[in-house]
Amino acid sequence: MSMELFVWGANSHGQLGLGYQSEQIVDPERLNLSKLNINVADIKCIVGGAGHTLILEHSGRLFGCGWNKASQVGLPNNKLDAISNFGIINNFHMEKIIDIACGWNHSFALTDCGEIYGWGSNQYGQLGLKQLHCDNSIANKYISVPIKIKIEFKVKKIAAGLRHSAVISDDGRVFVTGSGNKYQLGLVDSNTEPILSTDTFTPVPGIENIIDIACGQYFTIALAGNGDIFTWGNNKYGQLGVDSNEIPSSILPIKLEMNFGEVKMISAGWTHANVLNNEGIIFAWGRNTYGQLGNGLNDIYQQWQPKIVQTISNIRQLSVGSEHNIALDDEGRIYSWGWNEHGNCGNGDVTNIFSPCEILNRTNNNTALLIGSGAAHSFAIIKNTIDNE
């Protein structure tokens, strides 16, 4: 039995780790990890930002490559704007990393002690680091290697969007930092006016017992332990799950009045949202200009009501890019749909896909184990069960 990592989509910054830069890879391509000292069988998750990628092993080792203009890859002693080969990221002081998150050009790592490290752009305070020195000079604009973010609580989940970030504390509260220009922070001041920016992780009022969180471009979605789902921020395309004509944006969290069943996970693209429940059903809502809702309708540009993605079932993993989606079912089949300008859907074309399309076709000998995505690039680990003896 062997396992291989396949990569496809945008590669203009070397974010696929192939050792070179190219506009796009439209057909999934094998990535040779042996020379990079990455154990494909030990990969826990693969996460991408706008143009960079992080790979986390179960062992806690972390690797990065891609766009590095803001130092978001986090490799020590590497000041290149683009890094085309995966390198190991250190500076975690022997602490074990258990989860990671990528924003547009910033990155986070969560340790098994509930602490977080951040690196990359802090231009909008999205790392939770102070932006000004005591003399009002600019501080912490770009962080070149991971540094520990000083917070007074333990973290159990991290998420990152375009210019804002969110964490869940060990007692189920949500804390946010960064830009709130479209109300994506969910914060108000003492006069109930929206807080449009902060460089300190600040608690979101009105929600508790939160177990999952996701950040879109200008909105945020949270899942509570009782199954309630809350959204806030910009609602231009109905991505909050409420009518955009009635509620064009929301400063504070809105509770969705929808029965999703027992929810397994939530996810956010730039302008759409998904729920995956424990029955393997995906619900989608928001923008559909590029087919990101998977409803087969190329003339419906947005849909605020959460609806089931009908043509696939028994989904166990879902990974969402900025405007495309990758799903993995119980049989090891991979499906993709949505924005495909850079071949990010992996079907050998660059035409947007409005209904889920099977890619890397499963055979009796090949089955997918893991999927991942960045803004416009995608990944899959494939197991081959052929006995070569």
Contacts by 382-388 with C-beta closer than 8 Å and gap 24+?
382/3, 382/4, 382/5, 382/6, 383/1, 383/2, 383/3, 383/332, 384/1, 384/2, 384/3, 384/4, 385/1, 386/1, 387/1
CA distances from 160 to 7, 54, 121, 179 (A): 22, 13, 12, 11
Phi, psi of 36 (to 5 degrees): -100, 0
- Which residues on adjacent β-strands are paired with residue 118? 108, 147
Residue that has been written with the tokens 């962080």 in this structure: 143
DSSP string for 119-148: EEE-TTSTTS---B-TTS-B--SEEEEEEE
Element (H, E) at 82: strand 82-89
CA atoms within 13 A on the CB side of 217: 16
Domain extent listing, the chain: 2-384
Q: Tell me how long the chain is.
A: 389
| Strand (E) or helix (H) holding 6 | strand 2-11
Residues 6+ apart with CB under 8 A from 53: 15, 16, 17, 46, 47, 64, 65, 66, 86, 102, 374, 377, 379
What pLDDT sits at residue 233?
99
Vertex 312: Cα angle to 308 and 313 (nearest 5): 85
Residue 35 has what pLDDT? 82
Pairing between β-strand 334-338 and β-strand 324-329 as defined by DSSP bridges: antiparallel
Q: How many Cβ atoms are within 10 Å of 266's Cβ, its own excluded? A: 24
d(CA 100, CA 118): 10
Say what the pLDDT of residue 12 is.
Answer: 97
Q: What is the rounded CA–CA span in Å between residue 181 and residue 268?
A: 18
Report which residue type is found at 155: V
Neighbouring CB atoms inside 10 A of 82's CB total 18
Helices (H) and strands (E) in the chain, counts: 0, 28
- Given a contact cutoff of 8 angstroms between Cβ atoms, the answer to whether 325 and 318 are in contact is yes
Q: What confidence tens digit (pLDDT) does each residue in 148-189 have?
A: 999 999 999 999 999 999 999 999 999 999 999 999 999 999
What does CATH list as the number for 2-384? Answer: 2.130.10.30
Q: What is the mean pLDDT of each run of 10 residues along the chain (389 residues)?
A: 93 97 94 89 98 98 97 89 95 95 99 98 96 74 95 98 99 98 97 95 98 99 98 99 98 96 98 99 99 95 97 98 98 97 97 96 83 98 72
